[in-house]
Amino acid sequence: MAQLGSVFVIAGFFSSYPVRVALVAGLMVAVVSGTVGTFTIIRGQSFAGHSLADIGAAGGSAAYLVNIPAIYGFIGINLVAGLVLEFIGIGRLRGRDLATGIVLSAALGLTALFLYLDTIASTTTNVTASLLFGSILTIQGSSIPIILAVGAIAIAIVMVLYRPLVLSSISKELALAKGIPETKIAIGFLVALALNVSLTAITVGAILSTALLVGPAAIALKLTRRTGRAILIASAIGVIVTWIGIYLSYDSYYWPPHNHGWPASFFVVAIIFALFVTVDTIVRMRRKYLVGKRPAKG
């Protein structure tokens, strides 16, 4: 990374191999998260979406132990966790939170065990840090195909289930009345969520995984009530914010305090948070203004 300092920033930015890999991975990650995230919020599964990132770490640390690529560990345990979540009651409004908590806490226990075994096996503790804070700028170029493949599958599932998902997210009763197999749809969505979160948690880390899943979609749903439009807006916001984050992170190699770069996740989250608060405030002010202007209908 030392030679980075000598290159002109913008030119250096695009010619840097890690940056190009990060931009491509960031694009995919943001689009998948925008798509799946919109439904995650509508279905009230933000907690589950975040938990799968942490649960995945149990699979990741187990995979590390038996020397298979961590992504398979993530995907494997998250698919199982998704099924368990559905089985113990994520569908019920009152039990959703608790069901997620129980599965998460059990998985965290497993993570404790596997990380301990990992550290015995390899005398390194860095695996903990990288599982938690995985950095978008350290993605291997060779993992781009699998990122694209897993992301594409998650998006494909959401697209196939799109109509029933919209319907069952609005009203379960209505969906049942139309003969939609509610449980199958719910499981289908959890599979997409599990794939999405596995992919993002391992490439960009648990923080960015949750931030990109929840943040852009939450902003988009403030701006529009149409699901399709929300997905497009969420994906666009996600991509832009991620790329800005990558750029700033790259640029921050010249920043204080140590000239070794600020994490991209910090920039992405900070921008998302600020954007959310700003959009929310504007939408609120606009509503107040409209009330003053418009009499009651009829």
Partner 1 sequence: MFSAFMLNAWEISSIVAVVSGVVGFFVVQRANAFAAHALPNGAFAGAAAASYLGVSAVIGLSVFSLAGALAIAGLSRRTRSDVATALVMVLMLSLGSLFLSFSSGYAQQIYSLLFGEVFGISRSEILPTFVVSLFCLIAVLFLYRQLIYTSVVPEAAQAKGVKLAFVDLMFLLILALTTTMAVPVIGTVLIFTLLISPAAAARSFTSKVPVAIMISVSLALITVWVSIALSYWTNYPVGFFVGACGAAIYASGRIYRSIQSKNLNFGEANSLHAL
Partner 2 sequence: MSNVDQNPVKLLELEGVSISQSGREVLHDVTFDIYKGKFIGLIGTNGSGKTTLLRAILGIISPSSGHIRFLNSSKQGRSRNIGYVPQKIDFDPDMPLRARDLVALGLDGNRLGISKRKKSDKLLIDSLVEQVGAADFANSRVGELSGGEQQRIMIAHALISKPELILLDEPLANLDLRSQVEIVTLVSKLAREGNITVLISTHDMNPLLPVMDRILYIANGKVASGEVSEVVTTESLSSLYGHHVEVVNLKGRILVVPEIEEGGFNFLRGIPGNEDH
Among 47, 64, 243, 250, binds partner 1 (CB under 8 A): 47
Residues 73-92 that bind partner 1 (CB under 8 A): 88
Q: How far is CA 83 from CA 96, 165, 201, in A?
A: 13, 17, 19
Residue number, 226 or 286, with CB nearest to partner 2: 286
* Contact yes or no for 81/52 (Cβ under 8 A): yes
Token pair for 187: 């499981």
Q: How many residues bind partner 2 (CB under 8 A)?
A: 15
- Name residue 36's amino acid: V
Residue 298 interacting partner from partner 2, partner 1, none (CB closer than 5 to 8 Å by kind)? partner 2
> Smallest distance from the beta carbon of 298 to partner 1, in angstroms?
27
Cα distance between residue 268 and residue 216, in whole Å: 11
Interface with partner 2, residue 176, by CB under 8 A: no
Instruction: Count the Cβ atoms, other than its own, within 10 Å of residue 47.
Output: 18
Among 11, 67, 142, 258, binds partner 1 (CB under 8 A): 258
Residue number, 125 or 171, with CB nearest to partner 2: 171
Cα distance between residue 137 and residue 126, in whole Å: 17
- Name residue 184's amino acid: K
Q: How far is CA 90 from CA 46, 50, 55, 102, in A?
A: 12, 14, 16, 11
* Contact yes or no for 52/194 (Cβ under 8 A): yes
Interface with partner 1, residue 269, by CB under 8 A: yes
Cα distance between residue 22 and residue 20, in whole Å: 5
Interface with partner 1, residue 110, by CB under 8 A: yes
> Smallest distance from the beta carbon of 281 to partner 1, in angstroms?
9
Token pair for 128: 């903990």
Report the interface residues with partner 1, using CB under 8 A.
Answer: 41, 44, 46-47, 49-51, 88, 94, 96-98, 100-102, 104-113, 115-116, 119, 125-126, 128-129, 132-133, 205-208, 210-211, 214-215, 218, 222, 257-258, 260-263, 265-266, 268-270, 272-273, 276, 280, 284
Report the interface residues with partner 2, using CB under 8 A.
Answer: 93-95, 171, 174, 286-288, 290-291, 294-298
